[in-house]
Structure 1
Amino acid sequence: MALHAELHRHLGGSVVPRVLWRYFERHSTELISRFPNYGEFEDFYTRPRNTLDEYLELHTLVESVQTVETLPYFIYRLVRGAYIFENLAYLELRYTPYLRTPEHLSQSKRIDKMAEIVDVVGKASHIQECPIVTSQILCMHSRLPFEVNKAIIDLAVENRQYVCGIDVAGGDSYYADRLQEWISLYDYARSQGVNTTGHLYETTAGCYPELLPYLKRIGHGIQIPLLYPELLPEIARRGQCLEVCPTTYIKTGTLQDIRQLKLVFDRCFEAGVDIAICTDNAGLHNVRLPFEYENLLTYDIIGFAQLQACQEAAFRHAFAWPYTHRPASLLNGLLQPETPKVMAMKD
């Protein structure tokens, strides 16, 4: 029974090591020629990094092979694994479409090619034997020019059947020099009715309160309860949700101990701020969503009641979940024949 919702998963970081290794063996052996065996490749691919920038460099390894031709291969295995091993009912995949277009083309031609990428990802994500509700979040990028980032928003507007929102990625320390530009882009997205999230307050270098009013959800956001808890009441008032990805903060060196997240959860619950537990880069971490749940429980960061609240929040804040309740309500209906068995659609 599919039960869970995943709101923060990157397409580039979602390819599990074994699938990527097999692809390289068949098509790009030069990319793994320095690894004598799979074990050493897996260790390199999944080991912790010292900084977020170092960690993000791994995305380029996968982006280079995620093309129009190969995306169906990767997405089929991604969705199949999410359905079978993670019990996902809902999955938002986020990525920068521009970075999946041929590098030898001009900027304008690469922008034109982005629509094809979105179409391929959208069609490949719908797999009959793996009935997951899927949608895409298109990521602007901190190292791409304004013209490309605006085109990404326009692409989201034009492809609502596949796209449920926009994001900004690429390292939150790089926003400062172009802060007014990001504000204008998010303001434009909101004016077009596009849902918004953004990598913000992930690290101590990525704290920009000016951007918060433009977001429906906050990508990571852990530095808010850790360093700026005075912002929590306003975030609760706006109904914003934090997308917390526990393993990421250890892999990037942002936190030294996962138990530091207890303060994040405690302060958010106390302030009435919702948290959705996510994986971020399940492939890079070699973990799946149920493991994130189990790890938080094992370290006494949250209890079962808080876990259930986070699971419910994930469906409540999902941009494209079409029902009014999470799938558990359907299961309850099956166990109680006198109750309706069909979930009501959202208005």
Structure 2
Amino acid sequence: MTLYAELHRHLGGSVVPRILWRYFQRQNPEQAGRFPEYPGFEEFYTRPRNTLDEYLELHTLVESVQTEETLPYFIYRLIRGAHIFENLAYLELRYTPYLRTSERLSQSERIDQMTQIVEIVGKASQVAEYPMVTSQILCMHSRLPYEVNKAIVDLAAQSQEYVCGVDLAGGDAHYAERLDEFIGLYQYARSLGLKTTGHLYETPDGCYPELLPYLMRIGHGIQIPLKHPELLSQLQQQGQCLEVCPTTYLKTGTLQDIRQLKVVFDRCFEAGVDIAIGTDNAGLHNVRLQFEYENLLTQDVINFKQLQACQDAAFRHAFAWPHTQDPTSLLTGLLKTEPKKTLAGKSQ
């Protein structure tokens, strides 16, 4: 059995449609009234959007119900599905903890409550019956004030039992007017020894070379091989990895056809730049990681050798994978048996 690593999955977009709909039916009369039948909800929840900003608005639907009381409910079902249906051995969940705190509190009180949110997510992710290595990436957000984003970085540094890195999310078109601020926050994160990734070069509006030196991995980054291939040698020298999430670009209107990603993979492989394939928002897309693999293969975007290289890269660039080998190699060693010996000492 092959086991996989998922490096780019958002907590807000990870809830599969039927589980979210059932939750609304039982606990949220307002949303239940909007979607009395499941097919209508699934169509609304998973249909493509015209822009990344429009797509990201869907996160608010889930964030509003992912509270300290309900997070264990959603995370248990997420872990169960990832283990049983996706064969995940490693999962990084990313989210903005501030957006799971109570809106009834003041900003300073919400900042304090973030610690509790991280602990709840960390403990809920450790499900004995579905063993896998899990960790959190805390997302700064382009629409949150500096004080909150700095507190998120501080919390990541103080919570390394549960947290493996920091990210910047919220739509890459919104970074420009605060670019110096985000550079400073990444410098601060690196000074604290934190590992870093960031949503960058996802869309043509999100190309900020000034941020690249501070990232160990690049969330999406597809516009680099598509529009700025001159940067690939820099990425290779710095050992950076792209987190490519194929279905996302169709859902956000960034690409019109998944076969447009062939240029991304071809140029990255030619330049020696690693790619890890992710789902991004498995629930919003109603897909699992293996579907992303299969779709890339059947559309001739990559071949099996390249797929294996991407799967290996995911473990190699995982921020919290505790082993030097991928799980398949570890299992092979555990399950390998020596040839039986005969009484004469010869192998049978």
TM-score (norm 1): 0.96
Instruction: Give the superposition deviation at 1:337.
Output: 1.8
Q: CA separation in 2, counterparts of 1:283 and 1:124?
A: 18
1:11-90 mapped onto 2 (5 Å cutoff): 11-90=11-90
Instruction: Give the superposition deviation at 1:335.
Output: 4.7
Q: Does 1:262 align with 2:262?
A: yes
Partner of 1:113: 113
**Consecutive unaligned residues in structure 1, runs of 5 or more:** 340-347
Number of aligned residue pairs: 339
> Counterpart of 1:33 in 2: which secondary structure?
helix
> Counterpart of 1:91 in 2: which secondary structure?
strand
Partner of 1:92: 92
Cα offsets for 1:155-212 (capped at 9, x unmatched): 0000000000000000000000000000000000000000000000000000000000
Partner of 2:140: 140
Q: Does 1:235 align with 2:248?
A: no
**Alignment RMSD:** 1.0
Does the Cα contact within 8 Å between 1:2 and 1:83 map onto a contact in 2? no
Instruction: Give the superposition deviation at 1:275.
Output: 0.1
Larger radius of gyration: 2
Q: Does 1:6 align with 2:6?
A: yes
Partner of 1:344: none
Does the Cα contact within 8 Å between 1:97 and 1:117 map onto a contact in 2? yes
My pick for the range that moved more, 6-15 or 32-41, is: 32-41
Q: CA separation in 2, counterparts of 1:35 and 1:11?
A: 22
Partner of 2:214: 214
> Counterpart of 2:138 in 1: which secondary structure?
strand
Letter of the aligned partner of 1:203 in structure 2? Answer: T
Q: CA separation in 2, counterparts of 1:91 and 1:4?
A: 9
Sort the Cα spacing of 1:322 and 1:132 in 2 relative to 1 into closer, same or farther, 3 A: same
> Counterpart of 1:243 in 2: which secondary structure?
strand
Instruction: Give the superposition deviation at 1:33.
Output: 1.1
Identity %: 77
Instruction: Give the superposition deviation at 1:34.
Output: 2.0
Partner of 1:285: 285
Letter of the aligned partner of 1:69 in structure 2? Answer: E
> Counterpart of 1:305 in 2: which secondary structure?
helix
Letter of the aligned partner of 2:195 in structure 1? Answer: N
Partner of 1:342: none
Letter of the aligned partner of 1:54 in structure 2? Answer: E
Instruction: Give the superposition deviation at 1:31.
Output: 1.1
Instruction: Give the superposition deviation at 1:331.
Output: 2.9
Partner of 1:166: 166
Letter of the aligned partner of 2:81 in structure 1? Answer: G
Partner of 1:299: 299
Q: CA separation in 2, counterparts of 1:111 and 1:194?
A: 19
Partner of 1:155: 155
Does the Cα contact within 8 Å between 1:32 and 1:41 map onto a contact in 2? no
Instruction: Give the superposition deviation at 1:334.
Output: 4.2
TM-score (norm 2): 0.96
Does the Cα contact within 8 Å between 1:8 and 1:280 map onto a contact in 2? yes
Partner of 1:336: 336
Instruction: Give the superposition deviation at 1:333.
Output: 2.0
Cα offsets for 1:91-132 (capped at 9, x unmatched): 000000000000111100000000000000000000001001
Instruction: Give the superposition deviation at 1:338.
Output: 4.2
Q: CA separation in 2, counterparts of 1:108 and 1:122?
A: 22
Partner of 1:248: 248
